Chains A and B, each alone.
Chain A
Amino acid sequence: MTDRLTSTQIAWRAAQDIADGAYVNLGIGFPEMVARFQPPGREAIFHTENGILGFGEAPPAGEEDWDLINAGKKAVTVKPGTAFFHHADSFAMVRGGHLDVAILGAYEVAETGDLANWSTGPKGVPAVGGAMDLVHGAKRVAVITEHVTKDGKPKLVKRCSLPLTGVGCVTRVYTSLAVIDVEKGRFVLREKLPSLSVSELQTMTGAELVLPETITDLIVPEL
């Protein structure tokens, strides 16, 4: 058993919770990986902020159409059922509660569901993109993240220290060690790596974990 999940394995785990027919927005970067692990027989429809629903995979190099890109400005393709729309409609889908799931990265998540994922502080050029919109409106706002920072500091905390993206918006966190729900301002442990004890996990978490009767083993294939 591994000590922690790889990014790919975290993405795989998050993908297992996406239902057939769900409308899903994946944040730029790491969350985009979730699309690769849709369980067989399920068809999710992916939304990108710049105005596409149901886009296909990246085209082969040299066949890009630069009018056909995703929010990360990477080339994508159309497939049967793709729809285009303008930016106001795109964010009406977001804020209007029409998306089933948004999956985002995080610097910090607080037990209150507050998310910090857009700014590491006042230095440099600030850039927010669609992050502050995406945390409002999707029925589920999930985060995928390492459980701790590179320096070993908890990313799941009582209160965020970095600038907030949204208040009380995160509903579930998939980490390299566990799956944790945010319920009534508390972290509720749902799944953890079997090799890890609850107390070990607690020491790597910056807020108290609520322990329900059943905590499932977090088991992910080698990918």
Chain B
Amino acid sequence: MDKTLPTVAQAVAEIPDGAVVMIGGFGGSGAPIELVHALIDRFLATGHPRALTVVNNNAGNGHVGLAALIEQGMVKKLVCSFPRSADPRVFTEKFLAGEIELELVPQGTLAERIRAGGAGIPAFYTPTSYGTDLAKGKPVEEFDGRPYVRERWLKADFALIKALKGDRLGNLVFNKAARNFNPLMAMAAAKTIVQVSAIVEPGAIDPESVVTPGIFVQGLVEVAAPAQEEELNRAGARYPEIAA
């Protein structure tokens, strides 16, 4: 078995129009920028994929990564908890112009909906959002005298995530707080594509240290020195670069 893929272009080649795509990361930490940029390259070359529903904690920052994906008009709907950032203009303008739909989900509910999607749990009850605008229209039930809001699972056709290391079986370890949503999204997508800084031999990752077992991973591609969104933004980067 070998789940490795030769290029980021091949890694994102199957994502169709209208797909639900989970993109890992919390802001730039753990964001699979190279996979997202490969998706933009494909769109610029072929016109596909478009009309994507993207699940991410945020809505991009600046003009790279998720913000660039939105800027290209590839995203029809965003499911997220916090569509603000240091430079949220790309999303803000599209949202205020009615060009992108937003489903706002409290952060812990977003994480748990994704986890539930990966775990085969179609719905669960949470105290979060009870009595607020974000609970409107959702069933409420009392358990042991306290009210809880019912939330549905969240699943995806594809997940694009980032890890530090992976072996050809798809076993993954992450880097510090860049773990965040990545292991959950790996579980919740029909196909999970991972960019890793290094592909290692099976056995090189201590089985006790595996964070995401390979069963949740369908493809992985090596991006040896991945960009950091924060550093790209500090340098004023845009994707794709505008020819001078």
Contacts and interface: CB of A to CB of B under 8 A. Distances in A.
A50 B26 contact: yes
A88 B111 contact: yes
Interface stretch (B64-72, B90-98, B214-222, B236-244): B90-98
B89 to A, nearest CB: 11
Top 10 A-B residue pairs of the complex, sorted by shortest distance between their CB atoms = A91-B108, A133-B108, A167-B131, A87-B111, A67-B178, A130-B107, A136-B127, A132-B106, A129-B82, A88-B115
Contacts of B102: 125-126
A52 interface: yes
A140 interface: no
Given A127-B84, A163-B132, A78 B112 contact: no
A21 to B, nearest CB: 23
B92 to A, nearest CB: 5
Interface stretch (B4-12, B45-53, B179-187, B200-208): B179-187
Interface string B107-123: 11111101100000000
A167 B127 CA distance: 10
Nearest to B174: A84
A155 B164 CA distance: 46
Interface centre among B26, B96, B107, B134 (most CB of A within 10 A): B107
B184 A87 contact: yes
Nearest to A134: B108
Contacts of A42: none
Q: Chain A interface mostly helix, strand, loop or mixed?
A: loop
B115 A132 contact: no
B128 A133 contact: yes
A186 interface: no
Interface in B50-96: 57, 81-86, 88, 91-92, 95-96
The residue among A84, A86, A136 with the most chain B CB atoms within 10 A of its own CB is A86
A11 B216 CA distance: 44
Specify which of A85, A87, A94, A119 lies most central, judged by the most chain B CB atoms within 10 Å of its CB: A87
A165 B108 contact: no
B43 interface: no
A69 B29 contact: yes
B88 A125 contact: yes
A36 interface: no
B108 to A, nearest CB: 3
Given A51-B180, A67-B178, A127-B104, A133 B131 contact: no
26 contacts: A50-B29, A67-B175, A84-B176, A84-B177, A84-B179, A86-B184, A86-B211, A114-B131, A125-B83, A125-B88, A125-B91, A126-B102, A127-B83, A128-B107, A128-B134, A129-B82, A130-B81, A131-B106, A132-B106, A132-B129, A132-B132, A133-B107, A136-B128, A164-B131, A166-B132, A167-B131
Contact of B95 (A91, A125, A128): A125
Given A67-B29, A125-B95, A129-B81, A50 B104 contact: no
Contacts of A90: 108, 111
Contacts of A69: 26-27, 29, 177
A73 interface: yes
Interface residues of B, number: 54
Contacts of B184: 86-88
Contact of B229 (A66, A126, A132): A66
Contacts of B111: 86-88, 90-91
Nearest to B80: A127
A131 B175 CA distance: 26
A95 interface: yes
Nearest to A167: B131
A128 B179 contact: no
B28 interface: yes
Given A68-B176, A133-B109, A128 B115 contact: no
Contacts of B182: 86
A95 B108 contact: yes
A50 B95 contact: no
A129 B59 CA distance: 12
Contacts of A87: 26, 57, 107-108, 110-111, 180-181, 184
